[in-house]
Amino acid sequence: MSDWLMEPFRHPFNQRAVLAALLIGLTNGYASAFVVLRKSALKVGSLSHALLPGIAVAILVAGLNHWSVFLGSLFAALLVGLGSLAVSRGSRLDHDSALAILYTAAFSGGIILLRRLGVVQEMEQWLFGNIMGLRDSDLWTNFWISFVALGTLTALHRPLLMTLFDAEVAATLGVPVRALNYLLLALLIVVLISSLQAVGCILALGLLVTPAATVYLLTDSTNAMFWGGSLLGGLAAAFAVLAGWWLNIEQGPAIVLVLGVVFLIAFLFGPKYGLLHRLRHARFGVR
């Protein structure tokens, strides 16, 4: 039994995967509070799809390496994000429709291009992740991405929080709301990219929404939402990688599934905002 439990820790690629999951989970968990408070989960989901064509073009232009993938996907997501704003402002179309059009078109282009590049075997990896395939250098790239993103988000915590709570009031208190919104968008894309290798561009959204959403159902404290989300993201991701090994299931989906299960528990059994609590109190007519 203990052999079975300890087995995952014997292999360097597994240790690396656990470490990476911890790192990615912490960063995504922290950033997920911004996504949830900003109520922009679907927008972020669209942008995560837009990473794929960026990877394809980057491989085509500069070959496959950390920085080409990072810059390519960042550029593609920014292009789709800003392009959708330009389309909605320059026409009578709403922003969500514009975003849907651009990201699905870009995603399709990415699939077609990736197939032509002769990297078909990697397609699934970009879509659904491959955390066991991480190398030391990948870990370092992730570390730096997380460091920069988390550092900036914590440094700008005050003005960002004011913008999220009430953008108009924030503006009357001297916060440069528009600039911060763009910066936040860029940082969220960067965080998405950090989890690209681990969970892929389709599942990345789960990691960037679920942790803080879960904590949101348990607390009224802003700080708890950020740091609790971070802690939950890190621990759940690390645990899922181990569980994936023990139960022989894919680690990427395992991470998102574990988070989903934790969310469901909070949704049902949360002491204050849980469904059961609410039902019980509704029956007795107390709030």
Partner 1 sequence: MTHPTHESCAHCGHHHELRVEDLRVSYRNVEALRDVSFATSCGACVALIGPNGAGKSTLLKAVAGLLPVAAGRILWRGTKVAKWSREIAYLPQRENVDWQFPITVRGVVRMGRYPQAGWWRPFSAADEEAIGRAIELMGLADLGDRQISQLSGGQQQRVFLARALAQEAHVLLLDEPFTGLDRNSKAGLAITLRDLTEEGRLVIAAHHDMDTVRDIYDEVLLLNRRAIAFGPLAEVFTEAGLEETFGSLPTDGKEVA
Which spans of this chain sit near partner 1 (rule: CB under 8 A)? 37, 155-156, 158-159, 162, 164-166, 168-169, 171-175, 216, 219-222, 224-225
Residue type at 13? F
Residue with token string 């900036």: 152
Compute the least distance from the CB of residue 175 to partner 1, in Å.
8
Q: Between 175 and 207, name the residue whose CB sits nearer to partner 1.
A: 175
Distance separating alpha carbons of residues 173 and 285, to the nearest angstrom = 42
Distance separating alpha carbons of residues 95 and 83, to the nearest angstrom = 10
Compute the least distance from the CB of residue 145 to partner 1, in Å.
23
What's the distance, Cα to Cα, between the start and end of the chain in Å? 47
Q: Between 136 and 168, name the residue whose CB sits nearer to partner 1.
A: 168
Is residue 135 within 8 A of residue 141, CB to CB? The reply is: no
* H or E element, residue 101: helix 95-116
Residue 63 — left, alpha, or beta (φ > 0 → left; ψ -120 to 50 → alpha)? left
Q: Between 131 and 164, name the residue whose CB sits nearer to partner 1.
A: 164
Compute the least distance from the CB of residue 176 to partner 1, in Å.
9
Compute the least distance from the CB of residue 120 to partner 1, in Å.
45
Residue 21: CB atoms within 10 A of its CB come to: 31
Compute the least distance from the CB of residue 206 to partner 1, in Å.
21
Q: Between 136 and 220, name the residue whose CB sits nearer to partner 1.
A: 220
Alpha-carbon radius of gyration of the chain: 20
Compute the least distance from the CB of residue 35 to partner 1, in Å.
14
Closest CA to 190 of 25, 22, 28, 38: 28
Distance separating alpha carbons of residues 216 and 197, to the nearest angstrom = 27
Distance separating alpha carbons of residues 76 and 47, to the nearest angstrom = 9
Q: Between 110 and 159, name the residue whose CB sits nearer to partner 1.
A: 159
Tokens of 159: 């003005």
Compute the least distance from the CB of residue 277 to partner 1, in Å.
15
Three-state SS at 214: helix
* C-alpha to C-alpha distances, 82 to 22, 73, 169, 256, nearest whole angstrom: 31, 14, 25, 28
Q: Between 11 and 89, name the residue whose CB sits nearer to partner 1.
A: 89
Q: Between 120 and 169, name the residue whose CB sits nearer to partner 1.
A: 169
Compute the least distance from the CB of residue 40 to partner 1, in Å.
13
